[in-house]
Structure 1
Amino acid sequence: MIRVLLVDDHTMIRKGIRMLLEGFPEIKIVGESHNGSDAILKTSQLEPDVVLMDLSMPNGLDGFTASSEIRKLNPSVKIVILTIHDEEIFVHKAIEVGAHGYILKNSHCQLLFQAIVEVYRGKHFYKTSVSQDIISQWLNTKPKKPPSVLTVREKEIVRLIVLGYANKEIADKLSISVKTVENHKTNIMQKLELDSKHELIQYAIKNKYLDLAL
């Protein structure tokens, strides 16, 4: 019997996941949490084998912070991220905080069950659009943070680019003109000697520029 704690700020989503997982006799739902702070507390109280963790929980600690704290306080507990976020930076951050699994909310229930079983057995289970080769590399390496050649403002722009903001949105957030954003982007790519957004994402990941706002 695998003891599971469900963490999601939406009650209906938690109830739906509970209904799906209760169809598997190998799984016992021991509790539910609506935010990261409560998840940390209930993990210590209920001692689940696996925590099924959402990321975007605005009314408390986010899933990354909660996962990191749970790993520190309860190192034997396995964490599976269950989220809508399929971008590389989110997957990499999950690995960074020690999550054992990562799957998307639109996955089939059988895949969710498989993820829980695999991490319970001590394996990693990441099923996203990010290639398994890249995920394996992230799981098995701890890249050093090289010195940055970018200014503080350029780092801000890199972060917003990688999080998917358009030039106009970046300009509005930073109170600068669209033309200035474009000039910064050109300078950034020239400084880093990069040719594509994918390369910029990889650079941002390696240099830990992204303080994710969920």
Structure 2
Amino acid sequence: MKTTILIVDDHVLIRKGIRLLLEGLSGLEITGEACDGTEAILLAERHRPDVILMDLSMPDGLDGFAASQIILSKLKSTKIIVLTMHDEEIYVRKALQLHIHGYLLKNSQANEIQEAIRAVMSGERYYKTQIPEEQLSRLMKVEGTESVLTLREREILRLTALGYTNIQISQQLSISPKTVENHKSNMMQKLQLKDKHDLIKYAIKNKFIDLF
């Protein structure tokens, strides 16, 4: 029996490209294509696909996260694999929080998509992004309910990205400047970053400024 697939993306050329990739693989059957989250829900209920390949950024209608949440609440046996350009931690963490089964980047090869489909159909999670493997493993262990960083570390990271000095951060959080510096060192070790400049870039890329 073939695994049935629903493709969801707001760009028709991307949908056709994904269809072309998958039609060359054995054991898969495309049951439909949707251009936004609202249509994805309708087609999911109509066709009850085994797997949905879900884009995240769809400006017209519901986005991929909102659509996934609704679909997963209605169709317990359907698996969802996010297929997106976003590899930031905040997106991966959101996918884990919603219990989305897989997460791939749009530059993935056909064999990677096939491997992801096989994995989720076997009851496994399949997350493959550009986030360092150790960091991704930590995220998955906590089921996406929190960052690999502690709440205090996230507070310090946010203030650092906003341009606060160690002394200003220490005054705002009622801790010593030395403690602030120790937290930054711990964060760089956890995130496998080389220096404080990389730490700031990480905070901006992963939208820590917007998290509080």
Using the size of structure 2 for normalisation, the TM-score is 0.72
> Structure 1 186/15 Cα, relative in aligned 2: closer, same or farther at 3 Å?
farther
Matches within 5 A, 1:150-189: 158=158, 181-183=162-164, 187-188=168-169
Tell me the residue number matched to 2:97.
96
Is contact 2:34-2:40 (8 Å) kept? yes
Rounded to whole Å, the distance in 1 between the matches of 2:163 and 2:86 is 27
Aligned residue for 1:112?
A: 113
Equivalent pairs: percent with the same residue?
A: 40
Note closer, same or farther for the CA distance 1:184–1:122 as it changes in structure 2 (3 Å cut): same
State the secondary structure of the residue aligned to 2:163: helix
Checking the alignment, whether the CA contact within 8 Å between 2:79 and 2:120 is kept in structure 1 is: yes
Q: CA deviation at 1:131?
A: 3.2
1:12 alignment partner, SS class: helix
Question: How many positions carry a matched residue from both structures?
Answer: 182
How far the C-alpha of 1:118 sits from its partner, in A, is 1.1
| Structure 1 unpaired stretches of 5+ | 150-154, 162-180
Within-5 A mapping of 1:26-175: 26-141=27-142, 143=145, 158=158
Distance 2:29 2:101 in 1: 19
**TM-superposed deviation, 1:59:** 0.7
2:29 alignment partner, SS class: strand
Answer whether contact 1:67 1:98 (CA < 8 A) is retained: no
In the TM superposition, what is the alpha-carbon distance from 1:27 to its structure 2 partner?
A: 0.5
Residue deviations 1:52-95 (CA, integer Å, cap 9, x gap): 00011011111111111111111211010111111111111111
Rounded to whole Å, the distance in 1 between the matches of 2:34 and 2:138 is 32
Alpha-carbon RMSD: 3.5
Task: Decide which moves more: 28-37 or 85-94.
Answer: 85-94
Structure 1 residue 139: Cα displacement: 2.8
Does structure 1 conserve the Cα–Cα contact (< 8 Å) formed by 2:93 and 2:146?
no
One-letter code aligned to 1:75: K
> Is contact 1:39–1:66 with CA below 8 Å preserved after alignment?
yes
Distance 1:144 1:27, change over 3 A: closer
Structure 1 pair 144–62 and aligned structure 2 pair: CA distance change class (3 A): closer
- Contact kept, 8 Å, 2:139 with 2:146, in 1: the verdict is no
CA displacement at 1:183 relative to structure 2: 3.9
The one-letter amino acid of 1:47's match is: R
Q: Given the two structures, how large is their TM-score scaled by the length of structure 1?
A: 0.71
Letter in 1 for 2:81: V
Range with greater deviation from structure 2 (77-86 or 67-76): 67-76
